[in-house]
Structure 1
Amino acid sequence: MRTDRRAFLARLAAMPFAIPALKRAHAATPIVAASLLGDDKPETLVWTHIKETVERELPGRFAFNIVPNAALGGEKEVAEGIRLGSIQASLSTLSNLSTWVPETQLFDLPFLFRDAARLQASLEGACGGDLGEKLAEQGIVAPAFINYGARHLLAREPLLSPDQVKGKRIRVIQSPLHAQLWESFGAHPIALPITETYNALSTGHVDAMDLTISAYAGFRLYEVVPHVTLTGHIHAAGAVIFSGRFWKGLDEESRSVLQKAATEGARHFNTLMAADEKTSMKAASESGASFHEVTDRAAWEAPARKVWESFAGRLGGMARIEAVQKNTCGS
């Protein structure tokens, strides 16, 4: 009897310590997800979708902190945070990741894909799988790929032919391929983070840039570059990315659920982006933007295709470029 009582009292005495320990064992794992744009844009909404999907499958397992409006920095800074593990999740254009994986530039070659469907097929096939492996080696886990939409030429004045681009100062993303693309037109590329473009354009530091329609409206760039030439020269591929350090610390169940949520989220993002592009074009037009169709597409393609030849040697040769275009990687 005394032994039973002593055992009971010992268990009772341990309970105040056991309960906090139990809570600590089941504390939610934080996920800081960085977005460059506002709460109403697909870049942020996709993380709400992923969060809700994960919470249905694993309630209380993760605590998402979605940080919009580039509060954690531009694309390059966020990618560096992903690799370091200080940021756990984000979206990124593939071109932004070329600093660590040059092969991402394969999907950034100008006029490589005729339409979004061909880009997506290549990303979801063996070509995208090869790319995912290379990103993982650099501490960036990319469970799903996305399409930001086509990039078009934005300018302070109408630039309706390649000849009119010559001599212009054009903002480019921090990628050698993008710099060389506009050099092929005789322009002077200036690499700047997206967060600095509005001021650079408004002060005349640069004359033009290229961007998707959604981001054009999201950053209100129509206020400083009201003319858009619909070149569609690059379909801006991207990825849902997680920190490799964060990913390695997860159990198999958590990784599986996040993988599934990212894949579903990527499809949701592409749907949102297609709708947002239409809304963004309408909003920009109502705010004074002018959209100009390309009348001689071959004239734009000719200089740009020189980039293929220039980059072929570092991207696996022309055969590799054509394999990505035709989605025949590994065959």
Structure 2
Amino acid sequence: MTYKTLTAASALALMLGATTASADTWRYAFEEAMEEVQGKFAQKFKAEIEANSDHEVQLFPFGTLGESDSILEQTQSGILQFVDQSPGFTGASIPEAQVFFVPYLLPQDTATLATFFKESKAINEMFPPLYAEQGLELLTMFPEGEVMMTTKEPITGPADLDEVKFRVMTNPLLVESYKAFGATPTPLPWGEVYGALQTGIIQGQENPGFYIESTKMYEVTDHITRTGHNNFTTAVMANKDFFDGLSAEDQELVENAIATAFDYIIDYQDGLTEASLAKVKEAKPEITITTLTEEQRAPFKETAASVEATYLEIGGDQAEAILTQLKEDLAAAQGM
């Protein structure tokens, strides 16, 4: 563990009076605020657990226990029982999970995405053993919305990203993706992004529309560009030893709560992107929100093959099998 992680873990232990969970209290941390998508999912999960058992679920939104690396390590060590974290942050330890950053791999249609995440053999059969090797029980993955770029200058093609310092998560494939787009990818912890945009250390970042609105990224950028290159994916995990130690009844309780929360969060996101962008436009009328045409997207799409090739090089032993299966699962979800 890093010093920062230990500090966060110590703070949690002091708050709760112990570093191990009682039989009736489960702790769940996530990367967003309580009223953002991961927070809404967590609240639904908590409500289902508490309505159908004597267990209590304590929720810890972003910033409560440190950055993303801290809450993952705390889950692996058993201080936390559940964590919601994007594969963008687990890519270093589970390189196969970087597949979700191959541009133009995932569709934008919500119904298709919901079917894919529910039924995907790659997600539900191939990924769990990889997560288990890291001490994690993969409970579900779900989409959070279309990823958009926010920048200081307008973007109509890769040439406009030349020399733009663009914040990315600390994920090797996402770095390669933005290199292919023509930008200068700059990995930064999320807590530093607003200030870095404000001071000009970076000139762009990417996130779903709801997150751009709720975190006020529009205040420190002037243009939102919908390139259609990705849909943000996140994963809910449990500490593996904790989950394996649950009774069959409690394991079923968790799985049912996860399934209910999944259906809830898909419905919750219906119309969320457009509503969020409308709020952005209301708060900052001068901002431009541009959806690139297919012609404008073409040069971005042309980079996908090189990023995919990089994934096969750095994505771990099962990268090729997972990518192949993922494409088959997507085709099935699209009815192709």
TM-score (norm 2): 0.83
Give the aligned partner of residue 135 of structure 2. Answer: 139
Instruction: Tell me the matched-pair count.
Output: 301
Give the aligned partner of residue 274 of structure 2. Answer: 278
Give the aligned partner of residue 127 of structure 1. Answer: 122
- 8 Å CA contact 1:74–1:193 kept in 2: the answer is yes
Secondary structure of the residue aligned to 1:77 is helix
Against the structure 1 CA distance between its residues 44 and 111, is the aligned structure 2 distance closer, same or farther, given a 3 Å change threshold?
A: same
Give the aligned partner of residue 98 of structure 2. Answer: 105
Deviations 1:12-63 (A, max 9, x none): xxxxxxxxxxxxxxx75222222333332222122221112112221x2x22
Against the structure 1 CA distance between its residues 28 and 83, is the aligned structure 2 distance closer, same or farther, given a 3 Å change threshold?
A: closer
Counterpart-to-counterpart distance in 2, 1:35 and 1:318: 30
Counterpart-to-counterpart distance in 2, 1:320 and 1:85: 29
Deviations 1:289-330 (A, max 9, x none): 32111121111111233101222234456675243122189x
Secondary structure of the residue aligned to 1:159 is coil
| Pairing 1:321–2:327 present | no
Counterpart-to-counterpart distance in 1, 2:225 and 2:241: 42
- 8 Å CA contact 1:172–1:189 kept in 2: the answer is yes
1:192 Cα deviation after fit: 0.8
Letter in 2 for 1:143: L
Deviations 1:63-120 (A, max 9, x none): 2111224211222222122111112212111222212211111222110123344444
| Pairing 1:92–2:82 present | no
Secondary structure of the residue aligned to 2:263 is helix
Secondary structure of the residue aligned to 1:327 is helix
Against the structure 1 CA distance between its residues 303 and 77, is the aligned structure 2 distance closer, same or farther, given a 3 Å change threshold?
A: same
Give the aligned partner of residue 186 of structure 2. Answer: 190
Secondary structure of the residue aligned to 1:70 is coil
Percent identity reads 22
Deviations 1:266-301 (A, max 9, x none): 221222233432321111111113211112111111
TM-score (norm 1): 0.84
Deviations 1:173-225 (A, max 9, x none): 01000101111123211111112111111111101111111111121111101
RMSD, matched Cα = 2.1
| Pairing 1:299–2:299 present | yes
Counterpart-to-counterpart distance in 1, 2:303 and 2:280: 29
Letter in 2 for 1:48: Q
Secondary structure of the residue aligned to 2:63 is coil
Give the aligned partner of residue 64 of structure 1. Answer: 57
Secondary structure of the residue aligned to 1:202 is helix
Give the aligned partner of residue 44 of structure 1. Answer: 39
Structure 1 portions without partners, runs of 5+: 1-26
- 8 Å CA contact 1:83–1:245 kept in 2: the answer is no
Counterpart-to-counterpart distance in 2, 1:317 and 1:56: 40
